[in-house]
Amino acid sequence: MAEDDPIGADPREQGLIEAAQAGDRQALDALLRLHYDRVYAICRRMTGNDHDALDATQDALIALTRGLSRYDGRAAFSTWAYRVTTNACLDELRRRRRRPVPAAELMIDASNGSGPSLDQTVTDRITIDDALATLPPDFRAPVVLRDVLGLDYAEIGDVLGIPPGTVRSRIARGRKALAGHVGRNQEPPGNVETRAHD
């Protein structure tokens, strides 16, 4: 999704953060809009369906708003924001465990005529959503942060509070598991002889 990271490096964003912390609601509004797509993208991949993603996104935005006064600038704003968002998604997953799972979540925006066909898009999304759903959240999160947001291992480690080496291992293990779902028509990764652990 994005290799560029405007968060924390953009002077305009820094101004928005400071103004929002000072109580400027317009600045807070702009700050939330600036990060909305990324927040939603994390939630969409973490939860695996649009409905839960919307709920988690709302919770994340509220948590960001309420916690903004605690952000002290020692870490990149993105690191803090993604951590809050990831936690909101994990909370949503925990809540979902206690309620029935919707039969299907296929709320595709049909008005988007560009790109692959709707059928292909639906198939891809079901495939990757189903595949990601098989991963435990602590493996899903680093994969999502890496592939959706393009964070490097150190940044992911900061967001999740784990060492970069663990991030690397979890991403490799996560991808290996996902490869069995995404590439069913391909040769699955071979058996292993040498194991690597977190």
Question: Which of residues 16, 89, 144, 160 is near another protein by CB under 8 A?
Answer: 144
**Four-point Cα dihedral 89, 90, 95, 97, nearest 10:** 120
Instruction: Report the alpha-carbon distance of residue 143 to residue 153 in Å, rounded.
Output: 10
- In sequence order, the 6+-apart residues with CB closer than 8 A to the CB of 131 are 177, 178, 181, 182
**Stretch touching another protein by CB under 8 A, among 7-15, 63-71, 72-80:** 63-71
Pick from 158, 133, 196, 135: nearest CA to 74: 158
**Stretch touching another protein by CB under 8 A, among 7-15, 75-83, 142-150:** 142-150
* Binding of residue 171 to another protein (CB under 8 A): yes
* Binding of residue 17 to another protein (CB under 8 A): no
Residues 58 and 91 sit within 8 Å (Cβ to Cβ):
no
Binding mask 105-124 for another protein (x = CB under 8 A): ---xx--x--x--------x
Q: Between helices 25-47 and 137-147, what is the axis angle to 10°? A: 120
Q: Among residues 11 and 115, whose Cβ is nearest to another protein?
A: 115
Binding mask 67-106 for another protein (x = CB under 8 A): x-xx--------------------------x---x-----
**Stretch touching another protein by CB under 8 A, among 4-12, 72-80, 171-179:** 171-179
**What is the smallest separation between the CB atom of 9 and another protein, expressed in angstroms?**
19
Question: Which of residues 77, 80, 82, 153 is near another protein by CB under 8 A?
Answer: 153
Pick from 64, 63, 41: nearest CA to 53: 41
Query: Which residue is listed with tokens 């600036």?
Result: 34
* Binding of residue 174 to another protein (CB under 8 A): yes
Interface with another protein (CB under 8 A), residue total 75
**Residue 30 one-letter amino acid:** A
